[in-house]
């Protein structure tokens, strides 16, 4: 069974393959859209493109728009997810160049592409499309808190941009590999581009957050799993409202805490310390039990990309012993990840 899924339209048929645009990004966390597509939809990406000042790379070939078109690209995807979802002034010439080369522009940012005069004029002149992905469905309801059938897993985080999407995608893939009936439910622009549908939760009016999450994960067969991509953090002073609405509306039976052990402060808000994993577990249970009293934490997903393999596995083992829960890095996989999957399904 594939439960009905809210979509941005009847279908989300984006022009592919993609050229990933990194702008002038210097912080890997702000290029999470590009990295997400490169890691989970590499077969749909021909390369990456940036402007002066950029210091991050997905590892894909560097191509300018003309070269990308020659390689088969149909669209340039803005791979940046910065604070406020804004288009940098230094990007405009590169985006116009892409349209002049024959590429549509796809964006998951808050700002609408057509609201930028130079892009709107270039679109009219070249006939290339400006496609905004971060557009919620119309007529979203207010949440009602009614218990729904089926099973749900939500990834939650100690912060933004540290692995909630990757964890949900990896767990969904593992569930399917075990023969389970499962769907990945995308809640952010990158997940939507990967899955072909979903709800951009941070673009939903606050009153409708919980209702959007309820519609994203509707009633399903008793053995069906919805693996729901988390957003933000309930400890983030800027984005906690999105996280809480998603938590209440998702009604997760189980949740996995996602954490980057190399991060000590909240991304972009350095005066705020990161909460501990234990704090996230405790508050998620207390708040989540409002709509699902049976909610439970089934483990921890760590982003250990800054560690060597030896250090990462030693750290995960120590954290599992300390917390009394399975701890794994879904990208590294292995027995620790299998134990996390087993815990989610127990």
139-153 confidence digits (pLDDT tens): 999 999 999 999 999
| 168 vs 301: CA distance, rounded Å | 10
What is the strand order of the sheet 225-228 is part of? 182-185, 225-228, 151-157, 254-259, 296-302, 327-328
**pLDDT score recorded for residue 12:** 61
- Residue 318: exposed, middle, or buried by beta-carbon count in 10 A (0-12, 13-18, 19+)? exposed
Q: What number is the average pLDDT over the span 250-271? A: 96
Q: How confident is the model over 254-265, as a mean pLDDT?
A: 97
The CA-atom distances, in angstroms, between 92 and each of 104, 123, 147 are 14, 12, 47
- pLDDT recorded at residue 85: 72
Domains and CATH numbers, the chain: 18-132 (3.40.50.720), 151-345 (3.40.50.300)
pLDDT, position 11? 45
Mean pLDDT of 208-230: 97
- pLDDT value for 32: 87
Q: In this predicted structure, what is the pLDDT of residue 132? A: 93
Share of the chain above pLDDT 90, in %: 88
When pLDDT is averaged across residues 252-271 and rounded to a whole number, the result is 95
Percent share of the chain, pLDDT over 70: 96
Model confidence pLDDT, tens digit, residues 45-89? 999 999 999 999 999 999 999 999 999 999 999 999 877 678 989
pLDDT value at residue 128: 98
Quote the pLDDT of residue 6: 39
Q: What pLDDT, on a 0 to 100 scale, did the predictor assign at position 81?
A: 83
Work out the angle between the directed axes of helices 334-345 and 164-177 (0-180°, nearest 10). 80
Whether 214 shows a pLDDT value over 50: the answer reads yes
pLDDT tens digits for range 266-303: 988 999 999 999 999 999 999 999 999 999 999 999 99
More confident call, 230 vs 193: 230
Q: Which residue has the higher pLDDT, 29 or 2?
A: 29
């Amino acid at each position: 069974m594939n439960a009905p899924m809210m979509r941005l339209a009847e279908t989300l048929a984006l022009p592919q393959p993609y050229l990933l645009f990194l702008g002038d990004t210097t912080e890997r966390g702000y290029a999470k859209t590009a990295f997400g597509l490169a890691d989970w939809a590499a077969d749909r990406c021909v390369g990456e493109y940036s402007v002066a000042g950029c210091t991050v790379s997905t590892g894909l070939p560097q191509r300018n728009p003309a070269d990308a078109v020659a390689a088969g690209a149909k669209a340039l995807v803005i791979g940046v997810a910065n604070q406020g979802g804004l288009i940098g002034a230094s990007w405009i010439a590169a985006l116009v160049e892409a349209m002049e080369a024959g590429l549509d522009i796809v964006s998951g940012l808050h700002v609408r592409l057509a609201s930028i005069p130079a892009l709107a004029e270039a679109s009219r002149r070249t006939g290339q499309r400006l496609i905004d992905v971060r557009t919620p469905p119309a007529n979203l309801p207010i949440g009602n808190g009614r218990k729904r059938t089926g099973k749900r897993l939500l990834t939650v985080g100690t912060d933004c941009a540290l692995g909630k999407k990757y964890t949900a995608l990896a767990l969904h893939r593992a569930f399917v590999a075990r023969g389970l009936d499962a769907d990945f439910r995308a809640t952010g622009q990158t997940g939507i581009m990967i899955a072909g549908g979903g709800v951009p939760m941070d673009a939903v009016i606050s009153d409708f957050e919980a209702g959007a999450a309820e519609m994203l994960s509707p009633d399903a067969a008793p053995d069906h799993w919805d693996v729901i991509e988390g957003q933000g953090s309930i400890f983030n002073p800027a984005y906690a409202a999105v996280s809480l609405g998603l938590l209440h509306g998702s009604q997760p039976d189980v949740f996995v805490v996602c954490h980057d052990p190399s991060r000590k402060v909240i991304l972009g808000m350095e005066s705020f310390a990161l909460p501990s994993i234990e704090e996230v577990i405790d508050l998620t249970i207390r708040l989540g039990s409002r709509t699902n009293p049976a909610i439970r934490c089934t483990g921890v997903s760590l982003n250990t990309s800054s560690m060597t393999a030896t250090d990462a596995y030693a750290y995960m083992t120590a954290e599992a012993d300390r917390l009394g829960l399975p701890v794994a890095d879904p990208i590294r996989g292995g027995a620790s990840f299998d134990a996390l999957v087993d815990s989610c399904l127990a």
